[in-house]
Amino acid sequence: MKTWHKIFENKIIRIRETSDDTKPKGDGWIAIPHDWGGSLGDDVSWYDKTMHRIPDVKLMAQGKRIDNIGRWYNKNDFHETKQIHCLDEEAGDGWTQEIPLENELYQTWDDSNKTWIIDTVKKEAAEKESKKSQIEAEIAEIEQKRLRLYLRDLDGLATQEDKEWMQTYKNKITDLKNHLTELETA
């Protein structure tokens, strides 16, 4: 029994078998070995002159197949990933297999060096916001302590030590508010 295939636009698109080895198959039909090792839709360039399948490793070395298998990271948002499972699947623009920096929340893709770098602008802005939040929380905590002392004073229960603490808290709040203003204007 002989195996035949027909080529259309550089792809093997149809296979048929016949027991008559000498009968011509018509235009476009070519005889191939029984152990050809191919599949429907394979590119003809994946075969040698005897129509035996060239291993994928050699095809990749020749540039006839693409190996993008693995995890890909979005260059605009390193948290977004996609997995490619098959040969010849394109990753597309805006994706890289370069692993992002470990334990770094603020990073960006540097196209000129083809690597991830720390996004200092975003990192400094986030650190500034974090510091502002800490100061605002500290001010709120001190104001609450100060309020308790005022209530003791209104009730006539405040001691001289309580009044000294009220002034100490007032000074701390003033210092923290000045520091907060410095951060906001920097």
φ and ψ at residue 173, rounded to 5 degrees = -65, -40
Cα–Cα distance measured from residue 1 to residue 21, given in angstroms and rounded to the nearest whole number: 7
Per-residue pLDDT, 19: 60
Cα–Cα distance measured from residue 90 to residue 88, given in angstroms and rounded to the nearest whole number: 6
Does 108 score more than 90 pLDDT?
Answer: yes
The pTM assigned to this predicted structure is 0.66
Does 143 score more than 70 pLDDT?
Answer: yes
143-156: average pLDDT: 91
Residue showing tokens 């029984």: 34
Per-residue pLDDT, 39: 80
**Local confidence band at 42 (pLDDT 50, 70, 90 cut-offs):** confident
pLDDT, tens only, 6-18: 777 777 767 776 6
Percent of the chain exceeding pLDDT 90 equals: 65
CB 119 within 8 A of CB 106: yes
Lookup: tokens for 34: 């029984």
Helix or strand run (H / E) with residue 42: none
Angle (CA) 48-51-53 rounded to 5° is 70
Cα–Cα distance measured from residue 1 to residue 73, given in angstroms and rounded to the nearest whole number: 50
pLDDT, tens only, 59-84: 999 999 999 999 999 999 999 999 99
Cα–Cα distance measured from residue 166 to residue 153, given in angstroms and rounded to the nearest whole number: 10
Instruction: Give the ranges where 13-119 is alpha helix by DSSP (H).
Output: 56-61
How long, in residues, is the chain? 186
Q: Give the bridge partners for 74, in sequence order.
A: 95
CB 132 within 8 A of CB 182: no
Cα–Cα distance measured from residue 98 to residue 115, given in angstroms and rounded to the nearest whole number: 7
pLDDT, tens only, 151-175: 988 999 989 999 899 999 999 999 9
